[in-house]
Structure 1
Amino acid sequence: MTLFRQLVATILMLFLVVFSVTLLVNLNSSRTFLQEQLVSHAQDTATSLGLSISTHLRADDLPAMESMVNAVFDRGYYRRIELRRMDGAPVVVRELEVRIEGVPEWFIRWLPLEAPSADALVMSGWNQVGTVTVQSHPGYAYAALWDTARQLFAWYAGLALAAMLTGWLVLRLLFRPLLDVERQAEAICARNYDMRIPLPHTRELRRVVVAMNNMTGKVKAMFEEQARATGQLQRQAYSDPVTGLGNRRYFSSQAESRLGSGDEAGGVLFIVQLEGVEEINQSRGYAAGDEFLRAAAGVVSACLTGQPGALAARLSGAAFGMMLPGLERADAESAAVDISTALASLHTQGLTESSSVAHLGGCLYRPGGSYHDIMAEADRALSLAQSRGANTWHCTTLPVDRGAEVHGGQEWHAFLEAVVREGRFELHSQPIVAAGDPGRVLHREVLVRVAAADGSLRNAGIFMPMAERRGLATAFDRAIVERVLGLMSPGGVLAVNLSPVSLEDGAFLGWLEARLEPAATGGRLIFEVPEFGATRSLEALLAFTRVLQARGHGIAVDHFGRGFANFGYLRSLRPEYVKIDSAYTRNVGASQDDQFFVGSLCRVAHSLDIDAIAEAVESEAEWAVLRDLNVDGIQGYAAGRPAPM
């Protein structure tokens, strides 16, 4: 029992004792008073009747005596009236059966009233001629006592209720700081460090609240410091300190991971070579050279805006790398023109004296291409561009297998529309198992396979960038979710990938909210959103998460750590788990930096009670390393291969 309830119960018991004693004392006083009234009333009536009837008794006027006795007796206050002569002979006797109406029997037994009798002599001069005996009837006294008891009980009950309500409110006010402390402790257990309690007026409680607020602030500061340290570690290991873009290591690990997963769509990889950087350093100083590099990095970043999954990094002193998935030749050439034109404008801004600002070499690649082959082909294209004059570009195509599909923009659009319209995709699922217990499946992720023109199945990741560029991502998501809902089983948990574009589509979210009513699903869904989409549409995602949680479903962050996002967004989003990007988990055993970074990501996630899952785990050796780094779940061929649903 809580302290509040114990105090309320104690006060209630004390009040009941006081109430009962006071009620008994008052009732006993009323009973004594009424008993004395009965005695006095009987004696007064006997005396009065004896005086009034004396002349009639001497004259032996029986009718007159009966009339006088009846007049007194019929009022109902008396149980018995007797008029006797001195020899004991009865003259007039009236008697009424004792019947008490309107008063409970238990009350009569609990508070008994005696029926007192009184005698008076009937005198004729100095001679005694008879006696009058009057016995009071207790009925009216009981009725009066019962009415008094009810009134007292009503008053005391009303006062008790008012006192209890007042006491409850006062105790509530006094105990509110303790309730706030309890909620604050529960919030800390839930890894919510934002709750602050107003300081109470009670000195003892004030000290407790101050201590709790200080502890909450320190725990919050510890989390923020840990998140900052992890972000700083990521920037030190994977970003360029001058431009803020990723470094060569970041670019190569991300590109190799995406190309090696088999889920990467075709696209274009550019190498941008700035000209005249060394001359700027020598003539204007290194600060001017760094300013030129930062301006060029800004141009590169701006050209990636609106390109889903795009990647940019500084590869070396004056070279930048750009990877844009989902682009066909026409789109790639248009992007090359835009990038070259934007970089050439740096000369007119006075950031470089040379009119030849940069050259651009690009390589169009298809799914399954080798990173090293693509880089070599892009470098060859860069050499061709440099041989053609100032601010030129050149795009080449990586040789592909004969079976590889090559579509133009319109062909892609028609193909993807047909896939959605005709439902030409299959659902497979891959288990995510507990890192410390390979036999325990945490949930299964739904993987989409699209039927190509030759009938073979291709990973949907190859087509989704194309779908996003052509406005078909939401239609894809809707068709996939509809199919998944039809395959749900009671108690099952499935994870489904959701495009960031769909998060910004109000019509899609409204449809999904209606389809996720508890009666419409037999199991539980977890929607995985890529990290860049979560940070880009955080407010929309927070609203969507509240809708999901109200219906028993959840949200998760995919490709966690791929970008350089501030991990503070996790405190407000609170996903069920984060899936660490495969660039850090693939071959994690061979990189101390990757191990340290994965361990840091796990600590950040665990400090908010969020699970961390490693993807693309292909070997037992990688599994063992990740388990030692406190990863909660494992996904990859080492845990289980995808299978049709």
Structure 2
Amino acid sequence: MSLVKQLIAAVLAVLIGLASGTLFVMSNSGKSMLLRQLESHALDSATHLGLYISPYMAAQDTATIETAVNAIFDSGFYQRIAVMNASGEPLYVKETPPDISASVPGWFVSLVHIDPPSMERPITHQWRHVGTIYVQSSAGYAYERFWEGAQRALLLFAVLALLAALIIALLLRYLLKPLGEVERQAEALARKTYIEQPQLPKTRELRSVVQAMNAMVRQVQQMFEEQARNIEELRSIAYRDPLTGLLNQRACNAQLQARLEYERDFGPATLVLIRLRPLSEINRRCGEDSTNRLLKLVADELQTLANATTSNSLVGRLGGSEFLLLTEQQPMKLLAPQLNQLQTKTETELASLYRDGSAPAHPLIAGISQTSDQSSAALLMSEARLALNHAEEHNEAIYEYSGEAPRENLSQSWQQHVASAIRNGQVFLQYQSVIGGDQQQIHGELLARILDEDNEPCPAGRFIGVARELGLLDAMDRATLSTALDYVRRHPEGVRIAVNLGVDSITAQDFPRWLGEQIQQLSTPERVSFEINETVILNNLEQVQALRAQIQALGACFGVDNFGIHPRGFSYLYNLKPDYLKIDGSLIRDIDTSDEDRFFVRSLIGVAHNIDVPAYAEHVERSTQLDTLIALGIDGTQGYLHGRPTALN
């Protein structure tokens, strides 16, 4: 029972006791008053009757006396009337047993004892004593009058008690409202949500409690934010170039391999290697500060180019003078003008440094390679480096690697096949299990595939670029969801599934309504999880927060995918409060050999656990990785170590 209810109960108990005592005293007082009124009434009746029948008492006319007594007795107010002569002998006696009305409950008669008063009046006639009249009031009449008074008192008591209870309850709730807010603060703090009370209560004790609670909330929030800042500093040291803020060579290689070889859903890609030359000469002629400013300019312009191309690009600095750009496949006719614009800005900046007009021509050279779904990260990088070396040897600004690469995914027949398969919902689903520390399956992350011309599942990298080019990624997500949720409806006890949602679906206006209708048709919505890439979340935070609230209200789960690689930190987790996080696989690749990766992943797990959210790891392929992650406190792992993807039947 809450403190407010206990206080209300205690105050009401005291008031009821006080009111009951008051009611008892008033009842006794009312009973005494009623008896006095009956005595007065009986005495008055005896007097009036004596004045009337005194001549007949002197003449001992019993017939007239009987008539007069009966006339009074029949009124029902009397239980006994006796007329005695001067010698004390009865002239006439009229009495009846106590007749208590049925309107008076038996328990009241048993509880309250009323002995109706009996009054006597000596009667004289012509200065001579002729007898005595005894009049006793009716007990039934007394009980009826007393019960009516008790009912009115009880009704008034009940009304006043309810009114008092209501007033006390409202007053206590108003006075103790700050305590309720403190309780909500404590509950929110347990969920790692930080709420302060802006208005302080006027009561001194309550004000002190609220101020102490607000101070504790601020302190805990500062601790978490400090932890996030420390993790971000570590991330910058381990994975970012200190001058440009771009990914360093180690992070570029890890994410390049993760996107092209592990996830296999990036699709056909374009890799651009850019070299600033001659860096040593520029540094000698212009100085270190000017050279660093030039490198920062190139990095900023390259990041702007990547953002204009696609939100899923990868930008990094590989070394002193080399930069990397991975983007969704771009034809040369679109990419060349943008790279030429970057070249022009670099030449302009360099010309301002070489005041004598001797700035080198083509200070930026670019080598480009294109990938299909069969290409590996190492092969793509090798081809881009060959193109870069060719550009430098032949003094060309841009050169594209000319090796033959499969182009079937760009053919018209393949485009029609992909479009037809997606529009008709012909999606083939596989899943890869997330295994908990108890070796039990947590859920299976779905991998969407379509069937090729030979009716065989083909990897996402082969068709995802076509779907993106045709604007069918949202339709692909819906086809995947429809197939997956149909499986859940048909197999109530089957595999718990996790479905990835892309940016096209998140930003589609009617997607939340459509998704809500689909989830409402499930009898077990808790068996379905929806995952969104961290980068997509941070670029569309408002839409994702609304979608997460809808998913939570319908009973399904929500997870953050590819967690830990975005530079904007973790503050969004406070409001989003996902059901789990999946640490990006690029951070897991070398975790069994890299101290930096181990420390950083341990910090990410700590962030998740601090807000009571489980943390899972992707791309686990070696038992040494698994042992390291378990030692770091991971809640679940996913990867080929636990088996290859399985068909969702």
TM exceeds 0.5?
A: yes
Partner of 2:356: none
Per the alignment, do residues 370 and 123 of structure 1 end up closer, same or farther by CA in structure 2, a change over 3 Å counting? closer
Q: Where do residues 56-75 of structure 1 align in structure 2 (5 Å cutoff)?
A: 56-59=56-59, 64-75=64-75
Instruction: Describe the shift of the 1:409–1:505 C-alpha distance in structure 2 as closer, same or farther (beyond 3 A).
Output: farther
Q: Which residue of 1 aligns with 2:432?
A: 430
What are the ranges of 5 or more consecutive residues in structure 1 without an aligned counterpart?
A: none
CA change 1:521–1:296 in 2 (3 A) is: same
1:292 equivalent in structure 2: 294
Find the residue that maps to 1:227 and give its secondary structure: helix
- Deviation of residue 36 (structure 1)? 2.2
Counterpart of 1:301, as a letter, is Q
CA offsets per residue over residues 44-68 of structure 1, 9 Å max, x none?
A: 3223322331223334555654453
Change in CA separation of 1:617 and 1:37 when aligned onto 2, cut-off 3 Å: same
- Structure 2 counterpart of 1:317, from 317, 320, 324: 320
1:616 aligned to 614, 619, 622, which one? 619
Task: Give SS of 2:223's match.
Answer: helix
Q: CA deviation at 1:187?
A: 1.2
Separation of aligned partners in 1, 2:417 and 2:524 = 31
The aligned counterpart of 1:203 is 204
Match of 1:188 in 2: 189
Match of 2:172 in 1: 171
Q: Please state if 1:336 is matched with 2:336.
A: yes
Pairing 1:387-466 to 2, within 5 Å after superposition = 387-389=393-395, 392-398=397-403, 406-408=408-410, 410=412, 413-434=415-436, 436-438=437-439, 440-466=440-466
* Amino acid of the structure 2 residue aligned with 1:574: K
Question: Residue by residue, what CA displacement relative to the aligned partner does 1:583-642 show, whole Å, maximum 9, x if unpaired?
Answer: 111232121111111111111111111211111111211100111111111101212322
1:364 maps to 2:341: no
Cα deviations across residues 559-592 of structure 1 (Å, max 9, x unaligned)? 1123323211111211111111111112321211
**Normalised TM-score (structure 1):** 0.92
Kindly state the Cα deviation for residue 485 of structure 1 after the two structures are TM-superposed.
Answer: 0.7
2:252 counterpart residue number: 251
Residues 351/310 of structure 1: CA separation in 2 closer, same or farther (3 Å cut):
farther
Contact 2:314 2:327 in 1 (8 A): yes
| Conservation of the 8 A alpha-carbon contact between 2:69 and 2:81 | yes
Question: What is the letter of the counterpart of residue 428 of structure 1?
Answer: Q
> Is contact 2:563-2:582 (8 Å) kept?
yes
> Alpha-carbon deviations, 1:99-137, whole Å to 9, x = none?
232322222222222122223333333544333222212
For residues 423-572 of structure 1, what are the structure 2 equivalents within 5 Å? 423-434=425-436, 436-438=437-439, 440-488=440-488, 489-490=491-492, 492-517=495-520, 519=522, 523-572=526-575
Q: Percent identity?
A: 35
Alpha-carbon contact 2:373-2:461 (below 8 Å) kept: no
Query: Hey, what's the Cα distance between the residues in 1 that align with 2:455 and 2:126?
Result: 141
Q: Find out whether 1:606 has 2:597 as its counterpart.
A: no
Deviation at 1:9, TM superposition (A): 2.6
Q: How many residues align?
A: 636
Distance 1:194 1:89, change over 3 A: closer
The aligned amino acid for 2:9 is: A
Change in CA separation of 1:509 and 1:129 when aligned onto 2, cut-off 3 Å: closer
1:627 aligned residue: 630
Does 1:383 pair with 2:389? yes
Q: Distance in 1 between matches of 2:485 and 2:549?
A: 20
Q: Is 1:148 aligned to residue 154 of structure 2?
A: no
Aligned to 1:432, the other structure's residue is in SS state: strand
Gaps in structure 2 of 5+ consecutive residues: 354-358
Look up the match of 1:236: 237
SS of 1:477 mapped into structure 2: helix
Do the aligned residues in 2 keep the contact of 1:431 with 1:442 (CA within 8 Å)? yes
In structure 2, relative to structure 1, the CA distance for the partners of 1:582 and 1:407 (3 Å cut) is same
Query: Do the aligned residues in 2 keep the contact of 1:500 with 1:533 (CA within 8 Å)?
Result: yes
Separation in 2 of the partners of 1:452 and 1:340?
39
Supply the distance in 2 between the matched residues of 1:571 and 1:120 (Cα, whole angstroms): 93
Could you tell me how far apart the structure 2 residues matched to 1:466 and 1:308 are?
17
Q: Is the 8 A contact 2:525 2:556 kept in 1?
A: no
Higher alpha-carbon deviation: 38-47 or 539-548: 38-47
Deviating more after overlay: 533-542 vs 236-245: 236-245
CA contact (8 A) 2:371 2:380 kept: yes
8 Å contact from structure 2 (residues 268, 461) kept in 1: no
Q: Which amino acid aligns with 1:445?
A: E
Separation in structure 2 between the aligned mates of residue 20 and residue 360 of structure 1, nearest angstrom = 96
Cα 1:127/1:277, change in 2 over 3 Å: same
The reply on whether 1:134 has 2:135 as its aligned counterpart is yes
Look up the SS of the partner of 1:265 in the other structure.
Answer: coil
Counterpart-to-counterpart distance in 1, 2:403 and 2:100: 113
1:226 paired residue number = 227
Q: Is the 8 A contact 1:269 1:378 kept in 2?
A: yes
Partner of 1:45: 45
SS at match of 1:369: coil
Once structures 1 and 2 are overlaid, which stretch shifts more, 72-81 or 58-67?
58-67
State the superposition RMSD in angstroms: 2.5
| Shift of residue 348, structure 1, vs aligned partner | 4.2
8 Å CA contact 1:429–1:644 kept in 2: the answer is yes
1:293-345 Cα distance to aligned partner (Å, 9 max, x none) = 222222211222242532111122222111123x16xx244213322233323
Q: 1:123 to 1:561 in 2, by over 3 A?
A: closer
Corresponding residue of 1:597: 600
Question: How many angstroms apart in 1 are the aligned matches of 2:323 and 2:7?
Answer: 72
CA–CA distance in structure 1, aligned partners of residues 327 and 153 of structure 2: 88
C-alpha distance in 1, partners of 2:291/2:414?
43
| Greater Cα offset, 161-170 or 222-231 | 161-170
Would the aligned equivalents of 1:344 and 1:357 in 2 still touch at CA under 8 Å? no
Structure-2 change in CA distance of 1:465 and 1:233 (3 Å) = farther
Matched, 1:79 2:79: yes
Q: Does the Cα contact within 8 Å between 1:347 and 1:357 map onto a contact in 2?
A: yes
1:22 deviates by 0.9
